[in-house]
Amino acid sequence: MPFQFDLIKKDTATSARLGSMTTAHGAVQTPAFMPVGTQGTVKSMLPEEIRNCGAEIILSNTYHLYLRPGHETIQNLGGLHTFMNWPGPILTDSGGFQVFSLGALRKITPDGVMFRSHIDGSRHFLTPQKAIEIQEALGSDIMMCLDECTPYPATIAETEKSLNLTAAWAQLCKNSKKKSEQALFGIIQGGSYLDLRRQSLEKTVPLDFDGYALGGVSVGEPKEIMYKITDAIAPLLPADKPRYLMGVGTPEDIVFGVSCGIDMFDCVIPTRCARHGLLFTNSENVVIKNARWREDNNPIDENCDCYTCKNYSRAYLRHLYVAGEILAMVLNTIHNIHYYMRLMRDIRQAISDNGFTKFKEDFLNKKMTL
């Protein structure tokens, strides 16, 4: 089944959009948040639990799966969906951000990136063509072009050189794509410079990708810069294609991004925070290790219907966390993923009801007054 995006409704007061993506492994309602399953697993979650929380699509990573267990191994075992027992859509990140984060262990050339594995130090050369080959072997529903993730801060000259390299790689990725059922998204770079972001957009959009992502955000820049870029560039992306803000973010970031016209988000925040004992609610977030919960028999959130909140108290969750029990990570992650999925459902309902502006104001005001 070919990839398709349908724009269902646009908010009258903001750029928020309601849409639907059709993939070979099912439909995804947008705006959508993708739990991060970097190495073929959302940490501490069974696939059935992810689905029960309401997730329709997850993200996995080309770099990590290429190094271990290897894309050819996964292909021989039936592809990533079968390998990890996830029947729904999967988006694979190209590995550009992971290579970027290796720092001294990598060298960027016009043809690709030479890097040393963080696992065993072995040398590898990742080209745009190789990134597509790996993702096609994995069988993901949405593939990402290989890009150079521009660091922050960077000079105008450095940023322009980087975005030109990303644009050249985008063309090579497009030329290398063989499987029509897999979508391919282009990535807009340009750092913190709006004119360079527009330049990147002008180079990338004519290649007619299935969707477009804003990359190079959440790389250490102040949040107001990320907001400025999103607000200025997202509405310029093609209206008939999905728009993806990579690596974002907090609940507040997501609500803001939706108001700018973003359709897709991913971030490790809900799972990482769960493992460190920070639990999200629409009122005060809960730091579960705090002694104040020692004898609290209430759920994390009385308004939450996740498995954790229906069955366990704050006192018990605190006990598990303080005792270092694995179950603490499982139950905390179920709650945080469910919270994010409920947030996305509420956002979609607000857009459908022509009430997104009030939803955004109420949500952000509540968070600011806590």
Q: How big is the chain by its Cα radius of gyration, in Å?
A: 20
Q: Is 266 a residue of the active site?
A: yes
Rounded to 5 degrees, φ, ψ at 65 are -75, -30
The token pair that represents 238 in the structure block: 């093609």
Question: Which residues 6+ apart lie within 8 Å of 13 measured at CB?
Answer: 356, 357
How many C-beta neighbours within 10 Å does residue 41 have? 17
Produce one character per residue of 63-101: b if its CB has 16 or more CB atoms within 10 Å, e if not. bbbbbeeebeebbeeebbbebbebebbbbbbbbbbbbbe
208: left (phi over 0), alpha (psi -120 to 50) or beta: left
**Are the CB atoms for 58 and 348 separated by under 8 Å?**
no
| 3 state DSSP class of 91 | strand
Q: Is 93 a residue of the active site?
A: yes
Of 131, 242, 132, whose CA–CA distance to 182 is shortest?
Answer: 132
Q: Which amino acid is at 219?
A: V
HSE, CB side, 13 Å, CA atoms: give it for residue 64: 15
Catalytic residue among 11, 263, 266, 301: 266
Catalytic residue among 11, 93, 141, 253: 93
| 3 state DSSP class of 310 | helix
Per the DSSP assignment, residues forming a β-bridge with 143 are: 92, 184
Of 83, 42, 122, whose CA–CA distance to 337 is shortest?
Answer: 42
HSE, CB side, 13 Å, CA atoms: give it for residue 55: 34
| Cα–Cα distance for residue pair 296/112, rounded to 1 Å | 55
Just list the catalytic residues.
Answer: 93, 266
